[in-house]
């Protein structure tokens, strides 16, 4: 197969409809993309539609310029890590631990002892913005960190930059990751949540967020590419989600616009391998905050950037556009991720046009497609490379 580069862009949280097991997660009725379009009358995504958006979302036939379909997740849960790991070939048989009633006292006491903090604030599932408002005054007065979780497997530490210096916050997170949250309590991510502002002016969670993830529990397509001498470039939070494993280069980004710009910058370069981008604002800024207006604007901004992305691709490139889970900004049941199918769009000069991939049985089908393109070994999915590549 004469493909030299695979470009994977993850539109973080842009699910395309409730998965078959969504009810088990309290997510029946979720459809991130469809509902965002419905709640934003007049929102048009012409470039995504050319690629097959209406085909995969609504089953409409058309003269699409890409191959398109949906994928369902085999891993348990609906976390960013499980989604990204599975699309690179690692499927979780057991979900990461979650703490709907807060973390057990023995974990908190161990955290306090190892970090040297006298006390912590919070210790409950909460919206990040709301828990900051709730404990801000006490945080400033006592200088205690704010610890909280969510429906996802996360241990989050929020701290005002003027109260707890950034490096001190990072050190707390490293200790939590390496010494506290281990064995049966090995959460998927420990997250540093620095913020600025006050009650009067409002709070801003800064782009200095840092995720301390578990290392992948198996071999990924990224590992195989790196071992074979190919470049594996991660843009956005890819480094954090894989604990840096399997990457040859990592690029931090401040927002979606920066992530798109960095992606185009690397598409223009000459290399062989994988370019793997995550656009996180859909999830972190708009989905969880149930802001469907901003979510719609983000989709429009991405759609507007697509011509620049496509025009800079080389003849031997293939672009995959997908997501890691849902986070329906119109969903009223909770403010967490939603268990959904995700889109899979494949575009390139050597890729079939107007081809329906249907519903893929695993996110890992993408991993196996990539490894087959580069003549590497099979992982856990079913490749669709031969279905879409024109020899």
DSSP notation for 137-149: HHHHHH-PPEEEE
Residue 151's pLDDT band (cuts 50, 70, 90): confident
Q: Is residue 354 pLDDT above 90, yes or no?
A: yes
Higher pLDDT, 176 or 150: 176
- What gap in Å lies between CA 370 and CA 42, rounded to an integer? 36
Residue 351: closest CA among 88, 87, 68, 70:
68
Report pLDDT digits (tens) over 298-348: 999 999 999 999 999 999 999 999 999 999 999 999 989 999 999 999 999
CB 120 within 8 A of CB 147: yes
Q: For 202-224, what is the mean pLDDT?
A: 92
* pLDDT at residue 225 in the model: 98
Q: How far apart are CA 231 and CA 249, in angstroms?
A: 8
d(CA 277, CA 321): 10
Query: Smallest Cα–Cα separation from 368: which of 354, 382, 348?
Result: 382
CA neighbours within 13 Å on the CB side: how many for 96?
29
Angle between helices 105-115 and 166-175 (to 10 degrees): 130
Fold agreement (5-95+216-388, 105-213): no
Q: What is the pLDDT of residue 391?
A: 78
Task: Give the DSSP letter of residue 117.
Answer: -
| Model pLDDT, residue 323 | 98
CATH numeric code, 105-213:
3.30.70.1250
Residue 88 CA, distance from chain mean position:
13
Residue 381 and residue 363 in contact, taking contact as beta carbons nearer than 8 Å: yes
Question: What is the side-by-side strand order in the sheet with 5-11?
Answer: 249-251, 231-235, 273-279, 5-11, 317-322, 342-347, 67-71, 355-360
Model confidence band, residue 233 (pLDDT cutoffs 50, 70, 90): very high
**122/108 Cα distance (integer angstroms):** 11
CB 57 within 8 A of CB 366: no
Radius of gyration of the chain (CA): 21
pLDDT at 210 over 70: yes
Phi, psi of 215 (to 5 degrees): -75, 145
For domain 5-95+216-388, the CATH architecture is 3-Layer(aba) Sandwich (3.40)
- The pLDDT confidence band at residue 226, using thresholds 50, 70 and 90, is very high
Q: Where are the domains of the chain?
A: 5-95+216-388, 105-213
**Predicted pLDDT at 2:** 86
β pairing state of 146-149 and 154-160: antiparallel
pLDDT of 1: 64
pLDDT for 207 equals 84
Q: Does the structure show a pLDDT above 90 at 95?
A: no
Task: Give CA–CA dist 299/53, Å, rounded.
Answer: 12
For 246-279, the pLDDT digits (tens) are 999 999 998 999 999 999 999 999 999 999 999 9
Hey, how many other C-beta atoms are within 10 angstroms of the C-beta on 334?
Answer: 16
pLDDT for residue 154 is more than 80: yes
Structural contact between residues 381 and 368, judged by C-beta atoms closer than 8 angstroms? yes
CA distance linking residue 52 with residue 318, whole number of Å: 15
pLDDT in tens, 36-79: 999 999 999 999 999 999 999 999 999 999 999 999 999 998 98
Average pLDDT, the chain: 96
Please tell me whether residue 18 adopts helix, strand or coil conformation.
strand
Tell me how far apart the alpha carbons of residues 40 and 306 are, in angstroms, rounded to a whole number. 20
Q: Kindly give the pairing relationship between strand 342-347 and strand 317-322.
A: antiparallel
pLDDT band at 127; cut points 50, 70, 90? confident
For the chain, the residue count is: 391
High-pLDDT (> 90) share of the chain, %: 91
């Amino acid at each position: 197969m004469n493909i030299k580069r695979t470009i994977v862009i993850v539109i973080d949280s842009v699910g395309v409809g409730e998965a078959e097991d969504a009810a088990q997660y309290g997510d029946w009725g979720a459809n991130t993309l469809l509902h965002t379009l419905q709640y934003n009358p007049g929102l048009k995504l012409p470039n995504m539609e050319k690629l097959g958006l209406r085909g995969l979302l609504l089953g409409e036939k058309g003269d699409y310029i890409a191959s398109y379909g949906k994928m369902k997740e085999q891993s348990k849960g609906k976390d960013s890590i499980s989604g990204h790991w599975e699309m690179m070939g690692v499927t979780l048989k057991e979900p990461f631990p979650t703490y709907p009633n807060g973390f057990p006292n023995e974990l908190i006491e161990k955290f306090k002892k190892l970090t040297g903090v006298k006390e912590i604030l919070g210790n409950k599932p909460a919206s990040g913005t709301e828990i900051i408002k709730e404990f801000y005054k006490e945080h400033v007065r006592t200088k205690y960190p704010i610890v909280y979780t969510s429906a996802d497997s996360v241990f989050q530490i929020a701290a005002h930059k003027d109260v707890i210096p950034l490096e001190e916050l990072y050190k707390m997170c490293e200790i939590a990751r390496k010494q506290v949250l281990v064995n049966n309590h090995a959460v998927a991510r420990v997250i540093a949540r620095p913020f600025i502002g006050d009650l009067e002016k409002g709070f801003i969670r800064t782009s200095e967020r840092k995720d301390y993830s578990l290392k992948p529990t198996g071999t990924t397509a990224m590992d195989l590419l790196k071992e074979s001498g190919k470049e594996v470039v991660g843009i956005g939070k890819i480094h954090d989600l894989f604990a840096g494993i399997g990457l040859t280069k990592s690029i931090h980004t401040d927002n979606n616009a920066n992530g798109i710009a960095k992606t185009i910058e690397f598409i223009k370069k000459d290399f062989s391998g994988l370019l793997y981008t995550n656009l996180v604002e859909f999830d972190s800024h708009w989905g969880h905050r149930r802001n469907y207006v901003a979510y719609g604007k983000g989709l429009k901004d991405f759609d507007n950037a697509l011509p620049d992305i496509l025009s800079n691709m080389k003849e031997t490139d293939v672009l995959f556009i997908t997501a890691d889970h849902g986070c329906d900004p119109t969903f009223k049941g909770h403010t967490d991720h939603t268990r959904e199918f995700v889109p899979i769009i494949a575009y390139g000069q050597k890729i079939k046009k107007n081809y329906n991939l249907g519903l893929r049985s695993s996110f890992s089908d993408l991993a196996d497609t990539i490894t087959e393109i580069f003549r590497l070994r099979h992982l856990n999915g079913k490749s669709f490379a031969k279905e879409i590549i024109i020899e």
